[in-house]
Amino acid sequence: CFSPTTENAILSGGHDHMIRLHGLQSGNMLKELRGHSSYVNSICYLFKKGKKRKLTNMVASASSDATIRIWNLTTSECLSVVKLQNRRPGDAISINRVVPLQDGRLLICDRSDTLDLLDVENPTVSLLKYKCPNPDEEFVSATYCMGYVYGATRERNIYCFHLETGILESNLKVEDGKEIIGLEHDPTRKILAAYTLKGPLVLFK
């Protein structure tokens, strides 16, 4: 994960359960964050609440141990550990992705039929939930762009929800044989990219 404000450092997470801050020029490890008990799947820098594009000194991490952790990057302290509530019995609880919004909120994707929007200052309470219209599907990735939340499922559907209401606006379909494993967006050109397990990038505009 690259910092939005500096080109001097990069965050990484991996199968050894660790989060590391590296110097880009030197390649040296600058910090190490310990606490997760399984794979670290996603990391992001966090923005201040109500102040667009104003970064905090905090980062969020998502793990296969079913937790989201909020860290103070300056001190390496874990500030809070979050577990999502009210999941269906038997849901896979690996958390695949954390996506920062520029107003201080945090979009969470775990392997269930629900995406959650959290307040970083009070992350134990879900502000809004985005429910998959088909309860037999589970989200594998999510992203945010221009007032809309996008959630991708194993069944090659990309559901588009209105950020503030949670209402389902549209459904994009990826052709057969291309299982979606991730979503990204380009906010400047309004392009949504789905990358697949066996195949090229699929672009939507």
**What is the rounded distance in angstroms from the CA atom of residue 172 to the CA atom of residue 170?**
7
- Tell me what the mean pLDDT of segment 196-202 comes to: 78
Across the range 81-106, mean pLDDT stands at 78
Average pLDDT, integer, range 69-82: 92
Predicted local distance difference test score (pLDDT) of residue 52: 61
pLDDT score, position 149: 95
What is the structure's pLDDT at 166? 94
- Alpha carbons 144 and 149: distance in angstroms, whole number: 5
Q: Taking CA 145 as the corner, what is the angle to CA 140 and CA 147, rounded to the nearest 5 degrees? A: 115
How far is Cα 27 from Cα 134, in angstroms, rounded to an integer? Answer: 45
When the pLDDT of each residue in the chain is averaged and rounded to a whole number, the result is 85
In tens, the pLDDT along 3-50 reads 766 668 888 998 999 999 988 888 888 899 999 999 999 999 888 776
Tell which wins on pLDDT, 3 or 157. 157
Rounded to an integer, what distance in angstroms lies between the CA atom of residue 116 and that of residue 199? 29
